[in-house]
Amino acid sequence: MAKKILFINQEIVPYVPDSDLSLMGKALPQAILEKGHEIRTFMPKWGTINERRGQLHEVIRLSGMNLIIDDTDHPLIIKVATIVQTRIQVYFIDNEDYFSKRQMIQNEAGEEYADNGERAVFFARGVLETVKKLRWIPDIIHVQGWMGAVVPLYIKTAYREEPSFASTKVVTSLFPNTLSSELGSNFKACVDFRDANAEVLKAYKDAFDFNELSKMAIDYSDGIIAAHKDVSPELMKYAKSKNIPTLDYPGEDFAAAYEEFYDKI
């Protein structure tokens, strides 16, 4: 049976140079689309993306909202482009302070941005608010990359009564750690939104690093996939201890295994 699947990606080829994560960001939506499912795909509009070469353009009817994070307003800008070879449309979450004037995870000196956690919160809320505007109700949300790791928490708490997400299942793909720093001392304050409040977040350490963020994503997901052969065994063990359906790394021929996993959850 055909499903509506929302892919929330940190990186996608050709907008981001080849990496295991960016290659999967392109390959998985393409494979699922070819199997007859309806998809939508989102990623951040990193400052390294050449808008002219990628033929990005702003979607005025979706832009213009302000998201309040840690008591500060941040304008949400939505852009869109199409991957020519696959005809897959990609929506980009943009903001002048968080994305368009910056590189990805690190600055020009190779230092990770101190507000990466705040950027992840903006990205997560930006995606979910835009999907609501699209009036498109996904059966499954599939998160790939730590930049989208706040989404499972929000779907099960802050957005749980939204008609767009009331029956949505969340799948998180785990990849090897690409973060060396913590996500900022104010990360919990930035996450705080509606029912994603201090009471919910007290279960986690104040020092949010990659592992802590991954555990939070696992706790609020309906399924966990090891999307790489070098995924942390500790995190997969943690997921299995929570009695969450898991899929061990299926290898390069992943499409059938993923589709079967979607049916399972």
Is a pLDDT exceeding 90 seen at residue 130? yes
Distance (Å, whole) CA 106 – CA 243: 35
Is a pLDDT exceeding 90 seen at residue 119? yes
Q: Averaged over 160-188, what is the pLDDT?
A: 93
- pTM here is 0.96
Q: Averaged over 191-200, what is the pLDDT?
A: 92
Lowest mean pLDDT among 17-21, 60-64, 105-109: 17-21
Contact predicate 16/46, CB 8 Å: yes
pLDDT at 113: 93
Contact predicate 252/44, CB 8 Å: no
Handedness of CA 146, 24, 136, 239 (dihedral sign): negative
pLDDT at 239: 97
Number of domains, the chain: 1
Q: Check which CATH number belongs to the domain holding 137 and give it.
A: 3.40.50.2000
Express each pLDDT in 4-48 by its tens digit: 999 999 999 999 988 899 999 999 999 999 999 999 999 999 999
Distance (Å, whole) CA 127 – CA 146: 14
Distance (Å, whole) CA 124 – CA 152: 9
Contact predicate 2/38, CB 8 Å: yes
Range of 8's domain?
Answer: 4-264
Express each pLDDT in 223-240 by its tens digit: 999 999 999 999 999 999
Q: Averaged over 206-228, what is the pLDDT?
A: 95
Ranked by mean pLDDT, which of 72-76, 85-89, 201-205 comes out on top?
A: 72-76
Nearest in space to 6 (alpha carbons), one of 122, 131, 141, 147: 141
